[in-house]
Amino acid sequence: MAPSEKVIIIGAGVSGLVLAQILRQGGIPYEIYDRDDGTNWQGWAISLDRCLQSLYPLLPSDIQDPAQASPNYGSGKADGFWIVNGVTHDFLGVTENAPRGHPDSMIHANRDHFRKIFMQNIQIQFGKTFEKYEEGKDGVIEVFFTDGTSTKGTILVGADGSSSKVRQQLLNGFKASPSKYTSILGSVTVNEELCAKLLGQSNSGLLVADRDQKANCLVMDHNPDGTSLFCWVLAYKVAEYEKEQAWARTATPEALFEKAKERTAHWPEFMRDTVSKTGPEGMYRPFRLLETVLEKDELPKGRITLLGDAMHSMLPFRGMGANTGISGACLLGKSLLDGLKQGTSVDDILRVYEREWIPKSREVVLESRAAGAGDENHDLSGGRIENGGP
């Protein structure tokens, strides 16, 4: 490895953090920056499965097993979810619930709990908002932050999410496209009876398939008093979606709550109860669902690349965003470890990674788009159950 290589990672989401862990394990110098101080995180639950086989062999042994993020870890129950048709209320299937350690196992947890595990033994520089970079002829990249400070490295990875500023500079102003979906989300503590209905035959919760809207309602924590915290996310589309999204961005919690009740009025009773119990106090500020479809299979020549949602943000309906981001972090991390050891040029290492990962991740973005494109007849399970659609 060239001793002078230092990787600067912008963004401490799951993708940037996993890359940092792999570099740390491999002894490659890195720095990781995030604009947030770690307290602004809006948690929702995510399921990791497709990335686990690549991830486990590369993680350092001095951090916790990511499986410990799951609310079911203590009980030993296998994570998994089920799907119900919001229109007919038919049961559509349940994921396999493979036991932990099995190649098909899933870890379902609050995104922030995963993030906290991946932060272990990593020094993150918080409160640093990336502003721009400058590339010197000597291969040194200077990264500037909005607080007037800067840092230098020799490889820059933009893992700064769907509105990536690194990507914007690298690709001359490229911006992710807004989807037609508006999101509304909330969290609610439910009693054992309602929890049992939400879990159905699964241990993590459910997805609801509907014509012009989809939702997930997934467990975040089981509390010692027997209650459980669930987070639900409703994504819906209407003809005047731009107007609707503008409304959601400024709507009061009361108005968001009323909208959620109205849109789920025809759903099964236990789902209506869950939304009703959330109340305005349980509503979060909606986020924008953006899609990133990169046209070319590689990024411009040089020492800068992209990772995670910065490369491939997608609609959440097939549960593949973080899986793809983490698998990409494994590929990039391993390519850097092996390539630098063998003396391969940084430009070659990054372009080989991109030529493999941009087309693969683009395919996943388009599959997720198809899942949200039309009616409820598209597989929302992401191929995790045989009959993922009604």
Ligand X SMILES: Cc1cc2nc3c(=O)[nH]c(=O)nc-3n(C[C@H](O)[C@H](O)[C@H](O)COP(=O)(O)OP(=O)(O)OC[C@H]3O[C@@H](n4cnc5c(N)ncnc54)[C@H](O)[C@@H]3O)c2cc1C
Residues that bind ligand X (CB under 6 A): 10-16, 33-36, 44, 46-47, 111, 129-130, 159-161, 165, 233, 308-309, 316, 319-323, 325
Report how far residue 222's alpha carbon sits from residue 190's, in angstroms, rounded to the nearest whole number.
10
The closest alpha carbon to 153, from 145, 142, 144, belongs to: 142
Contact call for residues 241 and 180 (beta carbons, < 8 A): yes
Report how far residue 76's alpha carbon sits from residue 345's, in angstroms, rounded to the nearest whole number.
46
> Least Å distance between CB 306 and ligand X?
9
Q: Which is nearer to ligand X, 11 or 153 (CB)?
A: 11
Written as one letter, the residue type at 250 is: T
> Least Å distance between CB 2 and ligand X?
26
Residue tagged 């410990």 (tokens): 68
CA 111 to each of CA 14, 30, 117, 365: distance values in angstroms, whole numbers, following the listed order? 8, 23, 10, 20
> Least Å distance between CB 342 and ligand X?
28
DSSP 71-100: TTTTTTPPP-EEEEETTT--EEEE---PPT
Q: Which is nearer to ligand X, 100 or 344 (CB)?
A: 100
DSSP three-state, residue 209: strand
Q: Which is nearer to ligand X, 14 or 28 (CB)?
A: 14
Q: Which is nearer to ligand X, 154 or 292 (CB)?
A: 292
Q: Which is nearer to ligand X, 47 or 202 (CB)?
A: 47
Q: Which is nearer to ligand X, 119 or 255 (CB)?
A: 119
> Least Å distance between CB 168 and ligand X?
9
Count of Cβ atoms closer than 10 Å to residue 40 Cβ: 7
Q: What is the DSSP-derived secondary structure letter of residue 66?
A: G
Report how far residue 192's alpha carbon sits from residue 282's, in angstroms, rounded to the nearest whole number.
19
> Least Å distance between CB 294 and ligand X?
14
Q: Which is nearer to ligand X, 192 or 383 (CB)?
A: 383
> Least Å distance between CB 44 and ligand X?
5
DSSP 357-376: HHHHHHHHHHHHHHHHHSST
Report how far residue 171's alpha carbon sits from residue 141's, in angstroms, rounded to the nearest whole number.
17
Q: Which is nearer to ligand X, 103 or 343 (CB)?
A: 103
Report how far residue 33's alpha carbon sits from residue 270's, in angstroms, rounded to the nearest whole number.
42
> Least Å distance between CB 343 and ligand X?
30
The closest alpha carbon to 321, from 35, 10, 48, 81, belongs to: 48
Q: Which is nearer to ligand X, 11 or 339 (CB)?
A: 11
> Least Å distance between CB 320 and ligand X?
5
